[in-house]
């Protein structure tokens, strides 16, 4: 059975797409800890990030680097934090979270942004493709 993220990639479940290429897909986290919080996933279903081959993992990080630059350009954050959690969905993924202080990441406090704001953030990030 396809994972939640595969269903998002295939368009069965709507998402706020930020970027994509033939191997990877980036979209806004539906419950962000900060506006611009983005998930990067491989199109190929792999349960655990470190089960990816070294070359594929390298390409995923390079893709994530481009997305992080988009996030930083749009949100004007100091840095983009990278988190690898991966217990909620059995599909490898990286969280990219814009931060100005380490306290900006509180995984117990997630935002519930209106759909219009999510779409505006996603559109700004897509337009910032660097």
Q: Are 4 and 90 in contact (CB under 8 A)?
A: no
CA distances from 60 to 23, 25, 54, 92 (A): 8, 10, 10, 10
Q: Which alpha helices (DSSP H) does 2-114 contain, by range?
A: 4-9, 54-75
Active site residue 93: yes
Distance between CA 45 and CA 100 in Å, rounded? 33
CA–CA dist 114, 128 (Å, integer): 21
Q: Which of 37, 76, 91, 93 is catalytic?
A: 93
Active site residue ranges: 93
């Amino acid at each position: 059975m396809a994972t939640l993220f595969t269903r998002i990639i295939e368009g069965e479940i709507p998402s706020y797409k930020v970027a994509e290429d033939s191997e990877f897909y980036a979209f806004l986290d539906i419950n962000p800890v900060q506006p611009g919080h983005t998930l990067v996933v491989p199109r190929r279903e792999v349960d655990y990030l470190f089960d990816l081959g070294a070359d594929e993992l390298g390409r995923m990080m390079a893709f994530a680097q481009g997305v992080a630059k988009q996030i930083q350009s749009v949100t004007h954050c100091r840095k983009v934090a990278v988190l690898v959690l991966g217990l909620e969905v059995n599909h490898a993924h990286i969280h990219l979270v814009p931060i100005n202080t380490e306290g900006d990441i509180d995984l117990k406090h997630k935002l519930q942004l209106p759909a219009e704001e999510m779409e505006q953030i996603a559109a700004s990030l897509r337009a910032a493709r660097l």
